[in-house]
Amino acid sequence: MYAVNGISFELNKGELLGVVGESGSGKSVTMMSLLKLLPMPPAEIVSGKANFGGHDLLKLDLEKLRKIRGGKIGFIFQDPMTSLNPVLSIGYQLTEPMREHLGMSRSDSRRRAIELLELVGIPMAKNRINDYPHHFSGGMRQRVMIAIALACNPQILIADEPTTALDVTIQAQILEIIKRLREEMGMAIIWITHDLGVVAGMADRVAVMYGGYIVEEAPVKELYANPKHPYTQGLLKTLPNMEGQRAERLESIDGQPPNLYQKPVSCPFAPRCSQSMERCLQENPFLELKNNNHKVACWWNSDSSPDK
Amino acid sequence: MTIGTKNILLKVDGLVKHFPITRGIFRKQVGTVKAVDGISFDLKEQETLGLVGESGCGKSTAGRLILQLLQATSGKVFFKEQELTAISRAELRKHRPQMQMIFQDPQDSLNPRMTVGSIISEPMLEHQSLKGKERRVRVEQLLNSVGLDPNVTNRYPHEFSGGQRQRIGIARALSLSPDFIICDEPIAALDVSIQAQVINLLEDLQEEFGLTYLFISHDLSMIRHIADRVAVMYLGRIVELASSQELYSRPVHPYTKALLSAVPLHDPVLEKKRKRTILTGDVPSPADPPSGCHFSTRCPVAENNCFKIAPAFREISSGHSIACHLG
């Protein structure tokens, strides 16, 4: 299975990069493989580099990597029910990384844990620190997850669909918290989601993934105002509006998502693409920089010079 | 049929469902979960009514109560002027073919050991007397109308993608030519690019077969697209009911306002300008709802009265009803 194929991106200090894609587009696998969080075998990182502050994360041994996981890079997962340990109190789960990574004492780490819980908006944090995950609602559990990810002042926070399992009004609360924390703590965030709406309001830059590739990447306003890849264009058109005239009929992208078991040789989107040409079926386009920091992987747009 | 004076197909009157909470070896009842706490609405022929709300508000329970898959604690359901809540099970069985349901997760709602053909023809075996050949022709017709290859009858559900499986579920719901279909979160488990396909299919089928939909969903933007009228539920009660256009452009109930403002827009420029009402706290437990108005504990404009007296569901303008003391 070819889950992620030749992805390159960079994340600047304090930036929020939105990674958008459907299920199976490889967005989670990319981030998990950065920190070698995938079970290996069966997973295998065939090639690539991941530079973080001068180190290649993929070459580090497990001991050093462990220092970075949870320390300098924090992770928030989609489902707080399965990613919190049900038999440990949240106080323990919060203080453990601080003791492990920062060498804090039990009482110091406990004090900081209470601060963190207050920071993410858990009322009466002092009384709740000895509670277990099942005592909390979904939204509260996700706040605990955020507090754990922030415990060691990470430089990067990777959030994998952090609000997908939540109701909209709770999602709005969590988004507000993340916006506030970002201003206060200044960390860089990679926000993985399938929701183009969430990304529109949060991200500085957006990368769109399809079939294991980044097909388009641009600053947020540029991407929504001027999408260049037929997939991004289609995706934005399929969404029903919340304001203005109601569309008679939704535009849809025909066909099915790509089969990742086949070795990719052509553009992964070609079978569903309205603009596909002969070349798309023979050659996979690479991500190319256009104007306005806008990168696209598509022959249709870059086909102005036919001899290239 | 004349447009404008369409008949009422379904009438729900004061529907209530309380689930008992039991404890101990003697299963002594220690409380009740008020899943659905008195809801009423009408559904006209060929109309789509959207039922929205957050998880746990009772919208799916309401759907199951209407189809008599769950027995209501009290309240009445009329379908084509027949009171479903008052007739015997044998009598009810005769009405079943006219009312069908499409479920959220096509992975769970299709039997993995049955072929597509037998999944779709099973309702016909139960309720009709079609012979083998006729039945096969009918299955192929159905597959055709949901946009699947008619030659897939011998394949199993796992051979299909999520969107295709949902199409199989839709074909099964259509197999007895129903008048009324409850769609319970039919697109929630599908990818964004597939959602539009399924919604378009449901709209085409409505046109073709004159179907009436009760569309249960938490996706407010999709409800805006598909529904003619929208009912918003909160903790077992309908708090606002209006035409889709009216509800989205002039919401009156504070909960509807907050819910609409919480939906992220897919436009970074609009999103920056927008003012949000962020609700504090979580939805209270339906086992112990607040007294008075259920929304009072999270309502940004609640007054003294709201904590004591449950507001009546009243019409404020033609076709627009709310349950709120204010506004």
pTM of the model: 0.85
Closest CA to A10 of A47, A67, A49, A46: A49
- The contacts of residue A55 (CB under 8 Å, 6+ apart) are A64
Q: What is the pLDDT of residues B43-69, one digit of tens each?
A: 999 999 999 988 888 888 999 999 999
Nearest CA in chain A to B165: A256
> How far is it, in rounded angstroms, from Cα A151 to Cα A16?
19
Is the Cβ–Cβ distance between B296 and B306 less than 8 Å? Answer: yes
What confidence score (pLDDT) does residue B114 get? 92
Please name the member of A172, A252, A254 whose beta carbon is closest to the beta carbon of B276. Answer: A172
A-facing residues of B in 225-284 (CB < 8 A) are 225, 244-245, 248, 258-272, 276, 278-280, 282-283
CB contact under 8 A, B269 and A140: no
CB contact under 8 A, B264 and A175: yes
**How close B224 gets to chain A, by Cα (Å)?**
7
Q: Kindly indicate the confidence band of residue B182, based on its pLDDT and cuts at 50, 70 and 90.
A: very high
- N-term to C-term CA, chain B: 37
Report, as an integer, the average pLDDT of B245-253.
92
Residue B230 burial (CB count, 10 A): 26
Report, as an integer, the average pLDDT of A8-31.
82
Q: What is the pLDDT of residues B145-163, one digit of tens each?
A: 898 888 888 999 988 888 8
Q: What is the pLDDT of residues B107-123, one digit of tens each?
A: 788 999 999 999 999 99
Which residue carries 């709406």 as its tokens? Answer: A197
What confidence score (pLDDT) does residue A80 get? 67
What confidence score (pLDDT) does residue A98 get? 86
Please name the member of A167, A176, A236 whose beta carbon is closest to the beta carbon of B55. Answer: A167
pLDDT above 90 (res B31): no
Please name the member of A172, A247, A249 whose beta carbon is closest to the beta carbon of B262. Answer: A172
Beta strands in B228-293 (DSSP E): 229-234, 237-243
Does the bond joining B157 to the residue before it have cis omega, within 30 degrees of 0? Answer: no
Task: Identify the DSSP state of A270.
Answer: G
Report, as an integer, the average pLDDT of A160-184.
84
What confidence score (pLDDT) does residue A301 get? 64
Q: Kindly indicate the confidence band of residue A305, based on its pLDDT and cuts at 50, 70 and 90.
A: very low
> How far is it, in rounded angstroms, from Cα A116 to Cα B265?
30
